[in-house]
Amino acid sequence: MINKERIRKEFLELIQIRCSTHDEREIGDLLTKRLQELGGTVKEDQAGEKLGGNCGNLVADFPATAGMEKVPTVMLTAHMDCVEPCAGIHPIIENGIIRSDGTTILGSDDKAGVTAILEALRQLREQGLPHGPLQVVFTISEENGVHGSQNLDSSLLHADMGFTLDTHGHPGVMSYKAPGKNQIHIHIAGKAAHAGVEPEKGINAIVAAGTLLADAPQGRIDVETTCNVGRIAGGSATNVVADSCDVYYESRSRDKKKLEEITQRIVDHFKRGEKTTGCHITAEVSPDYGPYEIPQDAPAIEVASRAAKKLGFPLELEESGGGSDANHFNTYGVPTVVLGVGMTNCHTKEEYIEEKDLYDSAEWALAIVLEAAKETK
């Protein structure tokens, strides 16, 4: 039913547009035009201004076909930005696999999702297929902590169920549960001194950080909880006893209580270190997003499952270890699951996608819309 040649051509076009986080204007303008050509009413929110970027989130509304106004409203989402390096992508197609030339990422995260959604919309329009009201959301700033959807104007949303096309695995994979995440910034203040003349008068904040990190919570805590020291920075010169050091942590859990517990455990660990290191230590916690879990008998899961089975896709429900825009959409009251689109080795120069997954993702998105049209509110 879908147009494979068109999908391949559009995917290759989109991945060659540089779309760094906070610099999504070019692709945002292109997608706005295409959504409008397909009959959508597009609104751009102010999230880009809030985040210091040049483009906001795009929310497009598509009316139901005649007589289908009362069926559930479906929301399809994907994000516009990519991790670096995403400029000058040169795709190579070989044996049904699309990859970059090895100097950049490929960008299937998440142009695979964007392409699938656009093709589903085209098929609905070209074939005159009956469907209920639709919303399409293309977000910004997903790759730096899903900040685009975090700052989305949620008053624009009115969908009954949502599908975020943005995870690994072949079409048929569906994430119904994902962790929340906190950022934790630990600042350690020591005392400066000349490192060659009177080092004993100083208190080295970097050494204090290393001492405390040696037995700090790290890695997998349990099956649904993790934490990670991602970056440290400190000192000013080798001849100065470092009077400051910053430690940047993240904590994650699919259980809200466990997320709060591991976060507090990290904060308490470093605060206790004030007595043993002689440093002044502060901890700032910044929530990125909360955890969510969609009941396995929820309409969104049932609709996507029926669609996958009709297409012959092996169905796999999974609990994710990562966050996505779906975390925020669920917070906004739109039950949203994340769909696999075939992206592999994301965020690396070894990223690739099978052509078949591009086509299957578009088929799945279309089938979901058609299956939802059989539901009643």
Instruction: Please give the pLDDT value at position 77.
Output: 98
Terminal Cα distance for the chain, rounded:
28
Going by pLDDT thresholds of 50, 70 and 90, the confidence category of residue 161 is very high
Binned at pLDDT 50, 70 and 90, residue 117 comes out as: very high
The predicted model gives 127-149 an average pLDDT of 96
- Region 164-178 average pLDDT: 96
Q: Is the pLDDT of residue 125 over 90?
A: yes
Q: What percent of the chain has a predicted confidence (pLDDT) above 90?
A: 97
For residues 156-181, give the mean pLDDT.
Answer: 96
The number of beta carbons lying within 10 Å of the beta carbon of residue 62 is 23
| CB environment 316-350: b (16+ within 10 A), e (fewer) | ebbebebbbbbbbbbbeebbbbbbbbbbbbbeeee
Segment 42-67 shows an average pLDDT of: 97
User: Which H or E run includes 186?
Assistant: strand 180-189
Closest CA to 335 of 298, 376, 285: 298
Residues with a known catalytic role: 81, 142
Place of tokens 């070019």: 26
Q: What is the pLDDT of residue 375?
A: 80
Confidence of residue 145 (pLDDT cuts 50, 70, 90): confident
pLDDT of 1 strictly over 90: no
| Measured distance CA(207)–CA(28) in Å, rounded | 46
d(CA 317, CA 323): 16
Domain boundaries, the chain: 4-178+292-372, 180-289
Task: Tell me: cis bond preceding 160? Omega within 30 of 0 counts.
Answer: no
Distance CA 360, CA 356 (A): 6
Beta-ladder partners of 336: 162
Per-residue pLDDT averaged across 368-377, rounded? 89
Q: Is the pLDDT of residue 91 over 90?
A: yes
What amino acid is encoded at 19 in this protein? C
- Residue 376: pLDDT band (50, 70, 90) is confident
Element (H, E) at 213: helix 205-213
* pTM for the whole structure: 0.91
The reported pLDDT for the residue numbered 322 is: 87
- DSSP per-residue string spanning 17-73: S--BTT--HHHHHHHHHHHHHTT-EEEE-SHHHHHT-S---EEEEEPPPTT-TTSPP
Across 8-31, average pLDDT = 98
The CATH number of 4-178+292-372 is: 3.40.630.10
Q: How far is CA 84 from the centre of its chain?
A: 15
**180-289 has which CATH code?**
3.30.70.360
pLDDT tens-digit series, residues 259-310: 999 999 999 999 999 999 999 999 999 999 999 999 999 999 999 999 999 9
pLDDT of residue 342: 96
Report pLDDT digits (tens) over 233-247.
999 999 999 999 999
Q: Name the pairing type of β-strands 180-189 and 244-253.
A: antiparallel
Q: Is the pLDDT of residue 115 over 80?
A: yes
What tens digit of pLDDT does each residue of 314-349 get?
A: 999 999 988 899 999 999 999 999 999 999 999 999
270, 364, 329, 320: which is closest to 148 by C-alpha? 329
Counting residues of the chain whose pLDDT is more than 70, the rounded percentage is: 100
